[in-house]
Structure 1
């Protein structure tokens, strides 16, 4: 019993040390990121789950902080408790925000005219239908940095596509070619136009790469990502 107890304490201590190490790495990554003011952001870590809290000046900074945290090895999940609280500058009107959003969408050549935006008290909702996932992501990126934007909800959908018998093989090939991924740890299941990803990866960046590889197929309009992140 004593040996088992010591082993349990040792395991708990190692887990705590790992969380402290991840916390330190996330703080350093936030400080390293030029568009993030790390001084106003609190970082806590429990079993690999990182929670960011505090206030930031813009939604763009909030997004940058999230991306910085997810770049760190050892982060297995993320909780965003950040709030947007602009500095003491005149807040743009709803009309000004709407104009800025419209200009940003129209100025981006990869975003089709089918994408529409609704603005409500700084909260932007994107709707419409596009052919590719990269167009959906481009729409979010185009507006998330704009002054006055508090949050962005991306409800853009993908156009229906014909299914293909070799979709699984093509996605598997994309995963194998990706230098950041170990394709042997990822299982791909194709159900018509839907792809289900299972398995484990070593970082959140790998999980995102796997998802983008699946979305890159011309025959996919839905991806269910069940991949888990395990740093050990």
Structure 2
């Protein structure tokens, strides 16, 4: 049975702020936390793009958070001296060295220190790996991942069964509360979970299915 966590917005704001401060990989001095009906909004600025993502994950793991909106800006990276052309060259090198990104499958574009990734791959993890490969480059303020997934013949006929079994095996999920509906290579998750972190975990499980090209996460956080 899914257990709900009742937390007031005031307490939620305090708890998320404390979590951000506790995480030593985040400089929370310039971050602002607001909470409204369980929805947390993070604003302010951080020094790097990975720090922005870390702040989002930190907020999502706090009990009682139903959703997280991120309005955090990455500070002007001019001090790094990185031009768009420098970033593009470095990004291509990183993608070329990444063993989990198919060779020559991803194209890089950079404008105003925003990296845009395009191309086609056959696995979701390859698309995610491409974004990770360029996220940690100096000067990058955002990554726009427009890489498309191409359906392949490897999609299992019993995809619903295999995803359902994976959900049941996962210690972080209450399998009785999560249902995976499958239409071809598209998966829709329905049901209720106890936290944003659990919601994200269920989505990760669905994406791990061979041949999956789309995951619609319609799970609700009960709090």
Contact kept? 1:60, 1:146, Cα under 8 Å: no
Classify the secondary structure of the residue corresponding to 2:70: strand
**Aligned: 1:149 with 2:140:** yes
Classify the secondary structure of the residue corresponding to 2:62: coil
**Deviation at residue 62 of structure 1 after TM alignment:** 1.2
Which of 202, 224, 227 lines up with 2:216 in the alignment? 224
- Aligned partner of 2:112 in structure 1 is 121
Alignment of 1:26-45 (within 5 A): 26-45=16-35
In structure 1, distance between residues paired with 2:118 and 2:190: 29
Size of the alignment, in residue pairs?
217
Contact kept? 1:126, 1:153, Cα under 8 Å: yes
Give CA-to-partner distance per residue, 1:154-189, whole Å, 9 cap, x none. Answer: 111222123443111110000000000001111111
Query: Which 5+ residue runs of structure 2 have no aligned equivalent?
Result: 1-5
- Aligned partner of 2:187 in structure 1 is 195
Contact kept? 2:78, 2:139, Cα under 8 Å: no
Name the stretch that deviates more: 83-92 or 174-183.
83-92
In 2 relative to 1, CA 40–118 (structure 1 residues): closer, same or farther, beyond 3 Å?
A: same
Flag the structure with larger Rg. 1
Task: State the TM-score, normalized to the length of structure 2.
Answer: 0.91
In structure 1, distance between residues paired with 2:145 and 2:127: 8
Which of 153, 162, 168 lines up with 1:170 in the alignment? 162
Which of 95, 101, 109 lines up with 1:105 in the alignment? 95
- Aligned partner of 2:3 in structure 1 is none
Classify the secondary structure of the residue corresponding to 1:112: coil
Query: Which 5+ residue runs of structure 1 have no aligned equivalent?
Result: 1-14
